[in-house]
């Protein structure tokens, strides 16, 4: 079960769920975070290993914008609406 990531005094489980999805897809695809980021960059998105790591560890600096979510979907090889 997801634990809280506290944002502005509110328990937000979405970051935890995203982190779990990243970890799960990384294991399924047997790819490093760097390779996953490279896959997104190959499609024209700006995504770094550092950004992926921040989400995987439930420590994003801010809520992701739509373009970042699209890049995450490419990196994780899942349809965009899943993210």
pLDDT in the model for residue 61? 74
Please write the tens of the pLDDT for every residue from 51-78: 999 988 878 777 788 899 999 999 999 9
| pLDDT for residue 59 | 80
Does the pLDDT of residue 18 top 60, yes or no?
Answer: yes
Can you spell out the DSSP letters for 35-75? HHHHHHHHTT----HHHHHHHHTT--SSPPPHHHHHHHHHH
């Amino acid at each position: 079960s997801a634990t809280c990531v506290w944002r502005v005094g509110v328990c937000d489980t979405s970051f935890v769920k995203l982190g779990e999805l990243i970890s799960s897809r990384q294991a399924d695809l047997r790819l490093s975070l760097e390779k996953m980021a490279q896959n997104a960059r190959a499609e024209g998105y700006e995504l770094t290993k550092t950004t992926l790591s921040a989400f995987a560890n439930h420590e994003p600096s801010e809520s992701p914008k739509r373009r970042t979510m699209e890049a995450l979907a490419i990196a994780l090889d899942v349809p965009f609406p899943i993210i």
